[in-house]
A and B are shown apart, each in its own frame.
Chain A
Amino acid sequence: TQLLEQSPQFLSIQEGENLTVYCNSSSVFSSLQWYRQEPGEGPVLLVTVVTGGEVKKLKRLTFQFGDARKDSSLHITAAQPGDTGLYLCVPRGANDYKLSFGAGTTVTVRA
């Protein structure tokens, strides 16, 4: 079983500040997805990273996959209240039927 850790568990920042959340494992990921869950809703896919060292940008969100494919980070620039939510990572790969998520990072952006 792949141990997946997300940090920090909680993060509260002021609008306009930057933040970074992390997803780490003791094992190598084939690939990884990040989801965001807004209050009262189900999680929604943000991005899939596949290649070690890959960097993907989605507006103010920057996702990085570690060179060794054992870790990933999500950086938000100039956070807005609409970025508030629970950020979850999940390893993905061929025949990945049993999907286990990290505990997530709860981000609160204060106006």
Chain B
Amino acid sequence: NAGVTQTPKFQVLKTGQSMTLQCAQDMNHNSMYWYRQDPGMGLRLIYYSASEGTTDKGEVPNGYNVSRLNKREFSLRLESAAPSQTSVYFCASKEQGFRSGNTIYFGEGSWLTVV
């Protein structure tokens, strides 16, 4: 049972380059998320997709775009990478709505360095 899989695990980019982080989940979840994590700042929401066909901005969307390709896949794109985007990125998914015990599942993270 793979859960949430994100690629690549590590990436180094030059300022101005573009790249896409890929995320896929095999739990048939409706909602998917992209977070970034910087030292001392917990998880900050970049974008989310409540269901297939919809995407919405989170707390820190500037410099990013997302695509909900299908129910399984949610990608995050950096069009012109900046050093401020050096971070660890996490993809997550959950069932739609909330019932007691409804778990948010996270990928293992993608370490991105922009030089």
Contact = CB atoms under 8 A, between A and B. Distances in A.
Interface residues of chain A: helix, strand, loop or mixed (majority): loop
Contact of B109 (A31, A42, A50, A92): A42
A-B complex: 10 closest residue pairs judged by Cβ atoms: A42-B106, A103-B42, A97-B50, A104-B42, A101-B43, A45-B103, A96-B98, A92-B98, A50-B100, A43-B106
A44 interface: yes
Interface in A53-80: none
B40 A41 contact: no
Interface of A: 6, 9, 30-31, 33, 35, 40-45, 48, 50, 86, 88, 90, 92-104, 106
Interface of B: 4, 31, 33, 35, 40-43, 45, 48, 50, 56, 58-59, 90, 92, 94, 96-98, 100-104, 106-109
A41 B48 CA distance: 20
Given A50-B100, A93-B98, A100 B41 contact: no
Contact of B42 (A31, A48, A101): A101
A99 B48 contact: yes
A71 B89 CA distance: 28
A98 B49 CA distance: 9
Contacts of A35: 104
Contacts of A104: 42-43
Contact of B100 (A42, A48, A97): A48
A1 to B, nearest CB: 9
